[in-house]
């Protein structure tokens, strides 16, 4: 009996550990909220759903959140098919076993470099290649392999890069790749396991089950594990670039050649806000600040996207008239409620649920809005100046998103001492800003500054000159 119980201990411990670990992962103790336009948030929102799921299953969110505070990341994302269908089922099962979580983590980290590697960083000469250490501590070789027409195809390891710059964010970049990449160490672990299995006299079995009728341990029937019929691909096949290369999909919308009637869309959303009811104050401000609406329209025409967090009338009514009548106050309030990203209720809720808290850039630079998950919803801001996502997705057309909130948000006040310290510099800064502002509107200036930061400056004609 004693022998049996010590035998049972490790699996029990494992179960306990795997039950505790996800709890820890959903409540990260990270004091700095992740930026909403981080490459990590983008990955989880991207169409690389298979890879995103694995990242979550591997409990790597926290690790990657830390990595992205220290480095820019390059993520090589295998196409969904590569993980879903073209991976050796036995290898996939191996990765997903709770006891092999280390292997799964190494496997995923092998697809991530702690540097930003863009298309231009690839060698253009087939005889050249460069090596980079991945987060798995293994190296990845970046190369260019000659093809018949004299040019060369770009590879990472043995895998072809099929979609460069699939997602680009200030702190990283995602390139789509044809197949998965398997680090040597994981390959060894998998092969060891397989060899152990093939030489052991006893066939491996699933966990024991209790027969509900006899209340005794029952053996799982062999035919309940359908292995034989499934088509198998070896790990090597999965890794090798096959002949059936799909063409890279066209880049998404929003490029410089797509023009939209932004002004019409801005009018549309203000009308929608009015018709929706309960948002008359915010709609009024937007209508009255005609230059603001015009500038927003221009940006939308250029392919820019915005999310407006619109405080409802009840929230606006609580604002003292003083606060609103200060010169420039309505503008400042509006700027702070505009996020230069396209966010929906779903994307924001998913982000705060995964990361605990997320910070969104606003057009009132450099102030950010911190959002947290609260009561099954999203709560923006802190303390009194906070608001819940109250009327989700009032207007969403793919470029402008309007989300109703039940509070007016204000940037956190800077600590008094700090204010005095930087006073001198601030005045100098302000002078520089005023000069820049004279040329174009504040909204455009802010937006163009952000595009510049993203390395997309030249795409937008509004920002030139």
Ligand X SMILES: *[C@@H]1O[C@H](CO)[C@@H](O)[C@H](O)[C@H]1NC(C)=O
Size of the site for ligand X (CB under 6 A): 8
**In whole angstroms, how close is the CB of 120 to ligand X at the nearest point?**
13
- The yes or no reply on residue 179 touching ligand X (CB under 6 A) is no
Specify the residue, 47 or 71, whose C-beta has the smaller distance to ligand X: 71
How far apart (Å, rounded) are the C-alpha atoms in residues 155 and 159?
5
Which x/- pattern over 230-269 shows residues binding ligand X (rule: CB under 6 A)? ----------------------------------------
Pairing of strands 172-177, 73-78: parallel
Exposed, middle or buried, 138 (CB in 10 Å: 0-12/13-18/19+)? middle
Specify the residue, 192 or 288, whose C-beta has the smaller distance to ligand X: 288
Specify the residue, 108 or 117, whose C-beta has the smaller distance to ligand X: 117
Copy the structure tokens of residue 258: 């797509």
Answer whether 50's CB lies under 8 Å from 80's CB. yes
Footprint of ligand X on 292-321 (CB under 6 A)? none
Pairing of strands 216-218, 209-211: antiparallel
Answer whether 418's CB lies under 8 Å from 406's CB. no
Sign of the alpha-carbon dihedral angle for 79, 84, 90, 93: positive
Answer whether 60's CB lies under 8 Å from 66's CB. no
Exactly one of 116, 337, 354, 379 binds ligand X (CB under 6 A); which one? Answer: 116
Specify the residue, 72 or 294, whose C-beta has the smaller distance to ligand X: 72
Specify the residue, 83 or 315, whose C-beta has the smaller distance to ligand X: 315
Exposed, middle or buried, 209 (CB in 10 Å: 0-12/13-18/19+)? exposed
Footprint of ligand X on 2-41 (CB under 6 A)? none
Footprint of ligand X on 263-282 (CB under 6 A)? 281
**In whole angstroms, how close is the CB of 456 to ligand X at the nearest point?**
11
Reference 342, options 334, 332, 355, 351; nearest CA is 351
**In whole angstroms, how close is the CB of 284 to ligand X at the nearest point?**
4
Q: For the chain, percent helix, then strand, then coil, each to nearest 5?
A: 45, 20, 35
Footprint of ligand X on 45-84 (CB under 6 A)? 71-72
Answer whether 111's CB lies under 8 Å from 78's CB. yes
Exactly one of 125, 288, 430, 461 binds ligand X (CB under 6 A); which one? Answer: 288
Strands (E) located in 38-88: 73-78
Answer whether 452's CB lies under 8 Å from 463's CB. yes
Exactly one of 60, 174, 177, 285 binds ligand X (CB under 6 A); which one? Answer: 285
Copy the structure tokens of residue 54: 């694995």
Exactly one of 263, 284, 345, 397 binds ligand X (CB under 6 A); which one? Answer: 284
How far apart (Å, rounded) are the C-alpha atoms in residues 167 and 110?
19
**In whole angstroms, how close is the CB of 334 to ligand X at the nearest point?**
10
Specify the residue, 53 or 284, whose C-beta has the smaller distance to ligand X: 284
Specify the residue, 191 or 458, whose C-beta has the smaller distance to ligand X: 458
Which x/- pattern over 320-359 shows residues binding ligand X (rule: CB under 6 A)? ----------------------------------------
**In whole angstroms, how close is the CB of 453 to ligand X at the nearest point?**
8
Q: Which residues bind ligand X (CB under 6 A)?
A: 71-72, 116, 171, 281, 284-285, 288
């Amino acid at each position: 009996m004693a022998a049996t119980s010590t035998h049972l201990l490790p699996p029990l411990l494992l179960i306990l550990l795997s039950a505790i670990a996800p709890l820890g992962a959903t409540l990260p103790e990270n004091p700095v909220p992740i930026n909403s336009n981080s490459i990590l948030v983008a990955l989880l929102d991207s169409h690389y759903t298979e890879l995103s799921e694995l990242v979550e299953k591997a409990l790597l969110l926290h690790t990657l959140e830390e990595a992205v505070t220290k480095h820019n990341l390059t993520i090589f994302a295998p196409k969904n098919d590569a993980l879903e269908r073209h991976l050796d089922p036995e290898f996939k099962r191996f990765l997903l076993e709770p006891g092999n979580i280390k292997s799964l983590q190494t496997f995923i980290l092998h697809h991530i470099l702690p540097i930003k590697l863009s298309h231009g960083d690839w060698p253009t000469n087939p005889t050249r290649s460069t090596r980079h250490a991945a987060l798995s501590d293994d190296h990845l070789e970046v190369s260019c392999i000659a093809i018949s027409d004299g040019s060369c195809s770009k590879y990472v390891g043995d895998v072809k890069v099929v979609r460069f710059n699939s997602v680009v964010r200030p702190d990283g970049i995602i390139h789509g790749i044809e197949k998965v990449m398997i680090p040597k160490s994981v390959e060894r672990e998998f092969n060891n396991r397989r060899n152990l299995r093939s030489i052991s006299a006893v066939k491996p079995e699933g966990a024991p089950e209790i027969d509900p009728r006899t209340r005794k341990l029952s053996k799982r029937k062999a035919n309940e594990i359908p292995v034989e019929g499934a088509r198998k691909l070896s790990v090597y096949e999965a890794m090798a670039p096959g002949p059936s290369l799909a063409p890279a999909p066209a880049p998404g919308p929003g490029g410089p050649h797509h023009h939209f009637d932004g002004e019409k869309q801005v009018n549309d959303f203000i009308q929608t806000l009015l018709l929706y009811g309960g948002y008359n104050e915010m709609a009024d401000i937007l209508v009255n600040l005609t230059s603001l609406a015009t500038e927003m329209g221009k940006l939308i025409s250029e392919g820019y996207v915005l999310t407006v967090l619109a405080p409802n009338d009840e929230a606006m009514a609580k604002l003292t008239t003083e606060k609103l009548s200060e010169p420039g106050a309505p503008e400042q309030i509006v700027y702070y409620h505009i996020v230069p990203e396209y966010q929906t209720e779903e994307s924001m809720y998913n982000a705060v649920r995964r990361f605990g808290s997320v910070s969104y850039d606003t057009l009132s630079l450099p102030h950010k809005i911190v959002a947290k998950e609260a009561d099954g919803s999203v709560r923006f801001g802190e303390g009194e100046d906070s608001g819940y996502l109250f009327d989700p997705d009032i207007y969403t057309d793919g470029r402008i998103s309007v989300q109703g909130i039940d509070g007016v948000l204000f940037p956190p006040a800077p600590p008094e001492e700090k204010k005095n310290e930087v006073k001198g510099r601030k005045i100098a800064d302000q002078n520089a800003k005023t000069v820049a502002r004279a040329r174009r509107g504040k909204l455009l200036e802010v937006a163009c500054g952000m595009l510049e930061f993203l390395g997309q400056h030249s795409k937008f004609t509004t920002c030139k000159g």
